[in-house]
Structures are given as structure tokens and as C-alpha cells.
């Protein structure tokens, strides 16, 4: 007798795992924004997400991994594993017709990113000196931001050139400083600037050096 075989369909299990992970990260974001880094323990997160602590470890990892995963989702706006430099908002920079237009588009892109992660990073930066894993995380995302800035300024150089007096590394330094979450947090969060004003200021500051 020939027995029929069926391919095992684990799509339901995979979808459930993705939903559990999303619920954990959503709860983590809420705790971090409302209570701060110190308030988010694995135990408090488990209660908020309605799962066991072991589920958090299995689905995401320890506290440091949860913070990084939460940041990555907030930064991108979704959980898709697509690098920022390959996303449509960044690739749209290639549509700019000249250097000033590129810098305006870049300022808009930075505004979108900072408006998503600004609140979360503000909380994390406040607590950054008290925990080595958090300090390590902040160093890592600063390096990631430097890499993203390098991609943008390299794209600008290739498409429209840079001023003769501004080498690529200096352009990266300037943009990396101006687009920093610390600057955004001071102007938008602490000084109360509207996002349109922040974007306009950033575009003007970039143009002052790179036009």
C-alpha cells in the first residue's frame, strides 16, 4: 500500500510567532516611552505583553536585544528586514535634479526618521550612562547612523558632486552631526520646534556647507 505524504504547512505557526514578537515589541515601546529604560524589565514586559518571560527570551532575546529590536522597528516603520539605504524613501534621493534638491530631500528623510525614533532615543539617551549594555547599544546605533550618512553623502557626491573645499569625509562629519538625534531632541522636543521648521533648518544648515 502506498501511503500519501503531505508537506507540513507551518505558516500558521510562523504567523503566530510573528504576532507574538510584534506584541512584545509594541509593549516594550510603550514601557520605554512612558516609564523609561529602567522600568522595562523582562518581568514587566512579560506582564504587559501577556506572555511568559521565557517567551520573550525565545522570541526576541534579553533586555538588550529587546531594546535593539524595538528601535529597529520604530526606525524603519515596520519589521521588514530591508536596510534603510534600500528603502524607497532613501532611494527617492536619486530623483533629485541638483545638489540643493538632494539636500532638501535628505533633510525630509532625516525628519521622517527622527520623528519616528526621537521620543524613544530621547528616553534611552537620558538613561545611557547607567548601563553598559545600553551604552553599547547607543554606540552601535551611532555607528549605524554614521554608515547611513556615509551612504547618503556618497550618493550626493556621485550624482551632483561636492564643493571643491569639502572632501567627502568632511561632508559626512557635517551631516552626521546635524542629523543627530541629540540635535533633533533639543530643537523639537525641548524647544518645541514644529517638524517643518526643523526640516527647513536642517536643509539650510546642510546647504550652507555643501551647496
What span, in angstroms and rounded, lies between the C-alpha atoms of 47 and 24? 10
pLDDT in single tens digits along all 211 residues of the chain? 555 455 555 778 888 998 999 999 999 999 999 988 989 999 999 999 999 999 999 999 999 999 999 998 888 776 666 776 677 777 778 889 999 999 999 999 999 999 988 888 888 887 766 788 888 888 998 999 999 999 999 999 999 999 999 999 999 999 999 999 889 989 998 999 999 999 999 999 999 999 7
User: What is the per-residue pLDDT for 27?
Assistant: 95
What span, in angstroms and rounded, lies between the C-alpha atoms of 27 and 23? 6
What span, in angstroms and rounded, lies between the C-alpha atoms of 22 and 73? 9
CATH top-level class for 10-81?
Answer: mainly alpha
The DSSP element (H or E) to which 177 belongs, if any, is helix 168-178
User: What is the per-residue pLDDT for 163?
Assistant: 94
51 backbone dihedrals φ, ψ, rounded to 5°: -130, 175
What span, in angstroms and rounded, lies between the C-alpha atoms of 152 and 175? 9
Question: What are the residue ranges spanned by the domains of the chain?
Answer: 10-81, 82-211
User: What is the per-residue pLDDT for 7?
Assistant: 57
Q: Compute how many other C-beta atoms are within 10 angstroms of the C-beta atom of residue 89.
A: 14
Amino acid at each position: 500500500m502506498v501511503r500519501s505524504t503531505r508537506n507540513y504547512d507551518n505558516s500558521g505557526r510562523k504567523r503566530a510567532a510573528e504576532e507574538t514578537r510584534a506584541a512584545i515589541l509594541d509593549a516594550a515601546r510603550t514601557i520605554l516611552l512612558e516609564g523609561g529604560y529602567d522600568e522595562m524589565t523582562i518581568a514587566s514586559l512579560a506582564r504587559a505583553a501577556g506572555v511568559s518571560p521565557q517567551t520573550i527570551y525565545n522570541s526576541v532575546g534579553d533586555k538588550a536585544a529587546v531594546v535593539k529590536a524595538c528601535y529597529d522597528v520604530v526606525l524603519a516603520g515596520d519589521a521588514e528586514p530591508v536596510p534603510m539605504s534600500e528603502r524607497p524613501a532613501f532611494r527617492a534621493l536619486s530623483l533629485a535634479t541638483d545638489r540643493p534638491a538632494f539636500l532638501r530631500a535628505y533633510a525630509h528623510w532625516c525628519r521622517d526618521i527622527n520623528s519616528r525614533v526621537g521620543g524613544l532615543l530621547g528616553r534611552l539617551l537620558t538613561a545611557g550612562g547607567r548601563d553598559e549594555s545600553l551604552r553599547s547599544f547607543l554606540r552601535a546605533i551611532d555607528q549605524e547612523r554614521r554608515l547611513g550618512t556615509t551612504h547618503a553623502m556618497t550618493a550626493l557626491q556621485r550624482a551632483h558632486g561636492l564643493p571643491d573645499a569639502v572632501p567627502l569625509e568632511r561632508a559626512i562629519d557635517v551631516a552626521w552631526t546635524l542629523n543627530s538625534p541629540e540635535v533633533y531632541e533639543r530643537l523639537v522636543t525641548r524647544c518645541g520646534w514644529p517638524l517643518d521648521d526643523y526640516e527647513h533648518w536642517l536643509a539650510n544648515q546642510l546647504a550652507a556647507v555643501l551647496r
